[in-house]
Amino acid sequence: MKLNIAVLPGDGIGPEVTAQAVKVLKAVAMEFNHVFTFNYGLIGASAIEKSGSPLPEETISICEKADAILFGAIGKTSYDLDPNAKVRPEQGLLGLRKTLDLYANIRPIIAYEDLLNKSSLKKNQIKDTNILIYRELTSGIYFGEKKLSADGNKASDICEYTREEIERIAHLAFKAAQARKRKLTLVDKANVLESSRLWRRVVLELEPQYPNVKTDYMYIDNAAMELIINPKQFDVILTENMFGDILSEEASVIVGSIGLLASASLGKDHAMFEPIHGAYTKATNKGIANPIASILSAAMLLDHFGLDDEASLVRQGVDKSLKLHITTPDLNTKYDNISTTKVGDFIEDFIHNPDETNLN
Amino acid sequence: MKLNIAVLPGDGIGPEVTAQAVKVLKAVAMEFNHVFTFNYGLIGASAIEKSGSPLPEETISICEKADAILFGAIGKTSYDLDPNAKVRPEQGLLGLRKTLDLYANIRPIIAYEDLLNKSSLKKNQIKDTNILIYRELTSGIYFGEKKLSADGNKASDICEYTREEIERIAHLAFKAAQARKRKLTLVDKANVLESSRLWRRVVLELEPQYPNVKTDYMYIDNAAMELIINPKQFDVILTENMFGDILSEEASVIVGSIGLLASASLGKDHAMFEPIHGAYTKATNKGIANPIASILSAAMLLDHFGLDDEASLVRQGVDKSLKLHITTPDLNTKYDNISTTKVGDFIEDFIHNPDETNLN
Ligand SMILES: CC(C)[C@H](C(=O)O)[C@@H](O)C(=O)O
Ligand SMILES: CC(C)[C@H](C(=O)O)[C@@H](O)C(=O)O
């Protein structure tokens, strides 16, 4: 298979983790006789520094022509502490999601057997947890009109949803549930928000089309608690943009490190693959950033093109690295100097020699 | 002291837990020679059923005349599953918060030594956690304009904040931090939301007025994770209405049961005390509802009037009930039939005979 992959490393630890994912994809291409080409684009704070824009035209054009996009991370501390900045790194990522209409962000939350001890949660609480979060990604309060009064004393954001925006992702989530444990939980705040009531109404209406799926409705405040006290009750979680942002990062505690969480952002015509972690500025270039979220995002990219054996091999490599403690310090209590690159190298080697790779 | 207390038991388990708090307040009045009078008002689904309105005029008038309000819970499953309902129980609570301008909701999150094993989190993770959440309660997306298009295909909510709304609660939170561990964490989503950027700007501006307080800034998605992996890093958390709703319910996992969390909702002229849990409809009248959140809300009421010895005695009663496993089933693994009333009775007895109360 020929794949033209746009690579947007972005800011902070983005470049170093993305480099490991690219390395892994190259190994896959070699072993399975695929032709993957990689075209790099600027985005985020580094794009602002080099071009003045967080999302240069050229980046959009590279992405539009690509079969898939591999994204790193964006964000920078100086912007975080400057609420007056007019141009912000996040506009790059949000602009790209909107421009390419990547409306369905899919975030798997899987408790790895080998990492059960790493979680802040008790082992029996999380064992066997396997949740798929469907987060709406191109609407809601992220994209509704924003206003700041002329005197700077009043600010507002609109959270708006249309029936169509809800329906298209709800269908995907229902279908995913059908192929899994057949349970869907809609998370909203329908006791307070009009937009949440539209979500609830639409999902209640679609329910009969998926009679074999059990549908649950939960308020976001309650879900934030239930996710911790009883994560195993969830199969597919469907939710709006901001609630999905909050719940998925919270869910990282189940897995043991946010450095493990991958995601796919899908639209009708485009597909982007991105770790859910941020730019983690203070870890930049220290070799401590966990590349697994990025590598597993690459595995989701392979899934997307039906390259099941390839994706599975990448995941086996990840599993083996976890089992053998070839992991960055966020997970490692056994060895203290395994770097970002070393983890990438290990998984690359595994892909070339799945039967031989061992600790050395 | 003479106190005129409005009591709004509300829906679901509200009446049964509130009855225990009233019982405890009566015991306090008797032992300390206070005169507490109690005036009952309707609110929520039960008010809709009896009067057509979730917040009858008479209830507002009872509350306006009162020195303090003790609130139970509102909500009902039939409304949760009917996004088309025009009149909703929640309007009662939200209407009251707004009418009385109860803008500062204060939610203490304290890991009880005797309950460390009850949490889903590992013991060493939560031991000594003591967080005070300041949640803005009368603005933001809860109260901004809501719209549903005529064809029902588009819905929206506005999240709006003014500088003044932010300043008044920020000052309270800074002052609370000064009297504690001198750390304040503002939680927002300033990388995406205009309203959050106003929060960040205002708090950055107020910082110099509180030079002995260390101020931190955290995005809500990140905070939802950090609250679980490292709760001890927090002292006072300041946040807007909806983020406060989510974070405080999530934080209940640290304490071990949402049935333990009390709160105070304060304004310039009024003060309401309310458990953070909901109506928990399916537990109604089963005697399994935990009354401690309501009893600790009554303790916060006593605090509010400077009745420190009284409040402290109530808390000692709660501590003793926890130590002796006189608790409802959500916490109890030792005895299996300790009811809501029995917990209330125990704490009432303790107040009358602090030195003698024991297991019997
Ligand atoms: C960086 C930020 C804008 C982004 C978001 O909130 O969507 C990130 O937190 C994520 O979850 O992908
Ligand atoms: C019942 C609901 C409207 C309320 C809220 O969201 O504020 C509750 O969850 C709370 O936290 O007091």
The answer to whether residue A151 is domain-embedded is: no
Separation of alpha carbons A91 and B67, rounded Å: 49
Residues B124 and B236 in one domain: yes
8 A C-beta contact, residue A79 and residue A88:
yes
Q: Any chain A CB within 8 A of the CB of B217?
A: yes
**SS3 label, residue B140:** helix
Q: How far is the CA of B192 from the centre of ligand 1 (A)?
A: 8
Same domain, B246 and B286: no
pLDDT of residue B360 exceeding 80, the answer is no
Assigned token pair, B129: 């956690």
Tens digits of per-residue pLDDT, B94-117? Answer: 999 999 999 999 999 999 998 998
Pair B151, B204 in one domain = yes
Ligand nearest to the CA of B80: 2
Neighbouring residues of B48: CB distance < 8 A, sequence distance ≥ 6: B54, B87, B89
Q: What is the pLDDT of residues A95-131, one digit of tens each?
A: 999 999 999 999 999 999 989 988 999 999 999 999 9
Give the chain B residue whose CA is nearest to the CA of A244. B221
Q: Measuring from atom 6 of ligand 1, which residue has the nearest CA?
A: A245
Last residue of a domain, one of B195, B225, B256: B256
Strands A146-148, A130-136: pairing kind: unpaired
Residues A115 and A240 in one domain: yes
Do A167 and A305 belong to one domain?
Answer: no
Query: Ligand 2: which of B94, B133, B245 to mutate, judged by most atoms within 8 Å of the beta carbon?
Result: B245
Return the residue matching tokens 């309000």. Answer: B69
Residues A227 and A132 in one domain: yes
> Ligand 1 center to residue A74 CA distance, Å?
9
A152 lies in some domain: no
Q: Is the model's pLDDT at A360 over the cut of 50?
A: no
| CA geometry: angle B132, B137, B141, nearest 5 deg | 125
- Tell me how far the alpha carbon of residue A90 lies from the centroid of ligand 1, in angstroms: 8
- A164-168, A293-297, B331-335, B356-360, range with the lowest pLDDT: B356-360
SS3 (DSSP) at B295: helix
Of B120, B147, B192, the CB nearest to A228: B120
Q: Please tell me the predicted confidence (pLDDT) of residue B355.
A: 87
Taking the C-alpha atoms of residue A40 and residue B142, their distance in angstroms, rounded to an integer, is 43
Closest CA to A305 of A336, A352, A345, A266: A266
| Contacts of B355-359 spanning 24+ positions with Cβ under 8 A | B357/B317, B357/B320, B358/B324, B359/B324, B359/B326
If one residue of B93, B107, B143 were mutated to test the ligand 2 pocket, choosing by the most ligand atoms within 8 A of its CB, it would be B93
- B15 ligand 2 Cβ < 6 A: no
Closest of B288, B332, B330, B260 to residue B16, by C-alpha: B288
β-sheet bridge partners, residue A37: A4
Contacts of A198 in chain B (CB under 8 A): 83, 148, 152, 154-155
Please tell me if residue A344 touches chain B, with a CB cutoff of 8 Å: no
Q: Report the pLDDT averaged over residues B16-27.
A: 98
Interchain CB distance below 8 Å, A155 and B122: no
Domain of residue A253, CATH code: 3.40.718.10
Instruction: Report if residue B187 sits inside a domain.
Output: yes
Does B161 sit within 8 Å of A154, measured CB to CB?
Answer: yes
Say whether pLDDT at B357 is over 70. Answer: no
Return the SS3 of B176: helix
Residue A88 lies in a domain: yes
Instruction: Measure the CA angle with vertex A333, ends A327 and A334; round to 5°.
Output: 80
Q: 3-state DSSP call for residue A247?
A: helix
Q: Are A12 and A87 in the same domain? A: yes
Structure token pair of residue B138: 């009368």
A25 inside domain = yes
Task: Check CB contact of B120 with chain A, cutoff 8 Å.
Answer: yes
Ligand 1 nearest atom to the CA of residue A245, by list position: 11
Neighbours of A268 (CB within 10 A): 11
Q: What is the mean pLDDT of residues A227-256?
A: 97
Among the candidates B202, B234, B256, a domain finishes at B256
User: How do residues B157-216 score in pLDDT, each as one tens digit?
Assistant: 999 999 999 999 999 999 999 999 999 999 999 999 999 999 999 999 999 999 999 999
Task: Identify which of B155, B198, B225 has the shortest CB distance to residue A253.
Answer: B225
CA distance A56 to A351: 35
A283: pLDDT strictly greater than 60 = yes
Measured distance CA(B278)–CA(B72) in Å, rounded: 8
Chain A segment 230-249 residues within 8 A of B by beta carbon are 242, 245-249
How many of the other CB atoms lie within 10 Å of CB of A89? 29
For residues B115 and B225, membership in a common domain is answered with: yes
**With an 8 Å Cβ cutoff, are A192 and B142 in contact?**
yes
Q: Name the helix (H) or strand (E) containing A315.
A: helix A308-323
User: Helices then strands (H, E): number in chain A?
Assistant: 13, 12
Point out the domain boundary residue: B256, B280, B305: B256
Distance (Å) from CA B53 to ligand 2 centroid: 18
Q: Which residues is B134 bridged to in the sheet? A: B106, B238
Q: Smallest CA–CA separation between B227 and chain A, in Å?
A: 9
Q: Which domain holds residue B235?
A: 107-256
Selection from B221, B215, B170, B158 nearest residue B192 by Cα: B221
Within 6 A (CB) of ligand 1 lie A 74-75, 90, 93, 245, 276, 278; B 191-192, 221
A125 to chain B: closest CA residue: B120
Residue A262 lies inside a defined structural domain of this protein: no
Domain check: are A193 and A289 in the same one? Answer: no
- Contact, A314 vs A24, CB < 8 A? yes
Provide the phi-psi class of B255: left if phi over 0, else alpha when psi is between -120 and 50, else beta: alpha
Q: What pLDDT was estimated at residue B104?
A: 98
B275 phi and psi angles, rounded to 5 deg: -60, 155
Q: Against a cut of 0.85, is the pTM above it?
A: yes
- Residue A357 pLDDT: 58
Q: What is the mean pLDDT of chain B?
A: 96
Question: For chain A, first and last CA: distance in Å?
Answer: 33
Q: Kindly state the average pLDDT of the residues A17-40.
A: 98
Which among A83, A154, A225 has CB closest to B200?
A83
Shortest CA gap B146–chain A (Å): 6
Ligand 2 centre to CA of A273 (Å) is 36
DSSP-assigned states of every residue in B32-85: HT-EEEEEE---THHHHHHHS-SS-HHHHHHHHH-SEEEEEE---HHHHT-TT-
Asked if A250 and B228 come within 8 Å (Cβ–Cβ), the reply is yes
List strands edge to edge, sheet with B146-148: A146-148, A154-162, B154-162, B146-148
Does residue B262 belong to any structural domain of this protein? no
Query: Rounded to a whole number, what is the distance in angstroms from the first to the last CA of chain B?
Result: 33
Q: In this prediction, what percent of chain B has a pLDDT beyond 70? A: 99
> Do B327 and B260 contact (CB within 8 A), yes or no?
no
Nearest to B59 by CA among B2, B3, B9: B9
User: Under a CB-based contact definition with an 8 Å cutoff, are residues B251 and B302 in contact?
Assistant: no
CA of B248 to the centre of ligand 1 (A): 22
Q: What are A283's two structure tokens?
A: 């870890």
Q: Sorting pLDDT into bands at 50, 70 and 90, what band is B358?
A: low
B333 touches chain A (CB under 8 A): no
pLDDT of residue B97: 98
Interface test with B, best of A109, A139, A194, A227 (most B CBs within 10 A): A194
Q: Is the pLDDT of residue B277 over 90?
A: yes
Over residues B9-18, the pLDDT tens digits come to 999 999 999 9
Of A132, A135, A208, which is closest to residue A166 (Cα–Cα)?
Answer: A135
Co-location of B177 and B284 in the same domain = no
- Residue B47, amino acid: A
The Cα angle at residue B256 between residues B255 and B261, in degrees rounded to 5: 55
Give the contacts of A12 (CB within 8 A, at least 6 positions apart).
Answer: A73, A74, A75, A76, A278, A279, A280, A281, A283, A284
| Ligand 2 neighbourhood includes B296 CB (under 6 angstroms) | no
Residue A334 confidence class, pLDDT cut points 50, 70, 90 = confident
User: What is the number of domains present in chain B?
Assistant: 2
Q: Are residues A294 and A195 in the same domain?
A: no
Q: Are residues B138 and B250 in the same domain?
A: yes
Q: Is residue B214 part of a domain?
A: yes
Q: Are B223 and A197 in contact (CB under 8 A)?
A: no
Averaged pLDDT for residues A157-179: 98
DSSP letter (8 states) at residue A222: H
